[in-house]
Amino acid sequence: MSSVIKKIVILILIITGKTSIVYAQIAKYSNEFLSVGVGARALSMGNANIASVNDVTAGYWNPSGLQLQNSNLQVGLMHAEYFAGIAKYDFIGGSKRIDSNSVAGITFIRFGVDNIPNTTELIDANGNIDYSRLKSFNAVDAAVLLSYARNIIKIKGLKIGGNVKIIRRKLGDFAGSWGFGMDGGVMYDYKKWRLAVMARDITGTFNAWTYSLTDDMKQTFAITGNEIPANSMEVTVPKLILGATKTWYAWQNRISIGGEINAINTFDGKRNTIIKTNTWSLEPALGLEIGYKKFIYLRSGLGNIQKSKNVMGADVTTVQPNIGLGIKYKVFALDYAMANIGNTSSSLYSHIFTVKIDINKQ
């Protein structure tokens, strides 16, 4: 067994729908809370949103899309609850036009599970269960994204943007990490199509983990056969998303029909996706939006398309179907999404709302 494998530390469960194994070097599912997505519009369209995004949520999806906002200042808020309300996901963002060719934005994301029972000290020194020793802790993932977008004047229709992101992950008083990374995005208008590229974690995102365990906790870990974790560095490898969108109009431009397709490319080994190799995997995402008089919108999407094996060992393909509605009136927009993050169980549907407000609208 190599020295690198021996450095594998304890499983860290930050409730994100997956359990992440933290390696001394590359972690396959690192910072997965940043893959959930923000904005009810995007979530209702199956997360196919890197080409059509045109509001404050572009700071997350594709920062170059901030150039498409129609106001000097825009503010957005979102709240979602997952796993029957156990996990809370919140987003707040703001974007400000600097001049006709540049926009800056800031995004804050928090994904947390609060009041988790801590049973590591439930048994006293005499081996008796003492419920007065029962405590609780929070598991919180948070990130701040600083975004900038700009038109490339010499190339008509080309927009570029980037993010600098600071990540804080905390598991009670036991473990925590600070992380840093960067994203880059491009949009290009070609005839009636808009093409987009989004490179997440383009430089690799680094999380430095530290652990603080009491002697009682270390003893509990040893008795239960768990490895005592050591300080480590976790690296998230880049992800490349390609997208294309187009909008058609009918009935004297009263009805708009827009569609988007994304191709999500990962390079951290084989995943349960439709197309996969030992080093590269590809997952598609599809979104549809039908609007009436730019006032009300009906949306639907298919995402998280996975191909895996069931308990009987047979190959199965699962799809995450989402739907949603949106209303925009003057400077106010309200979006709603119903997303089934569990693919098959209706009990896992989550109701997501986003509010956006334009200020100093031009």
Domain span at residue 17 reads 3-361
Q: Virtual CA dihedral for 348, 265, 26, 225, nearest 10 degrees?
A: 30
Q: Is the Cβ–Cβ distance between 57 and 66 less than 8 Å?
A: no
pTM assigned to the model = 0.87
What is the pLDDT, as a whole number, of residue 8? 27
Q: Is the Cβ–Cβ distance between 61 and 67 less than 8 Å?
A: no
Domain harbouring 87, CATH code = 2.40.160
What is the pLDDT, as a whole number, of residue 12? 28
Classify residue 180 as exposed, middle or buried by CB count within 10 Å of its CB (0-12, 13-18, 19+): middle
Residue 265 one-letter amino acid:
N
Per-residue pLDDT of the chain (362 residues; tens, 9 = 90+): 333 333 222 222 232 333 333 334 566 678 889 999 999 999 999 999 999 999 999 999 999 999 999 899 999 999 998 877 889 999 999 999 999 999 999 999 999 999 888 877 777 777 788 787 788 889 999 999 999 999 999 999 999 999 999 999 999 888 999 999 999 999 999 999 999 999 999 989 999 999 988 777 777 778 778 888 888 899 999 999 999 999 999 999 999 999 999 999 999 888 989 899 999 999 999 999 999 999 999 999 999 888 888 788 888 888 889 999 999 999 999 999 998 765 544 456 789 999 999 998 65
Radius of gyration of the chain, Cα coordinates, nearest whole angstrom: 22
Helices (H) and strands (E) in the chain, counts: 4, 17
DSSP states of 141-156: EEEEEEEEEEE-TTST
Q: Find, among 352, 319, 320, the residue nearest to 337 by Cα.
A: 352
Domain tally, the chain: 1
Classify residue 225 as exposed, middle or buried by CB count within 10 Å of its CB (0-12, 13-18, 19+): exposed
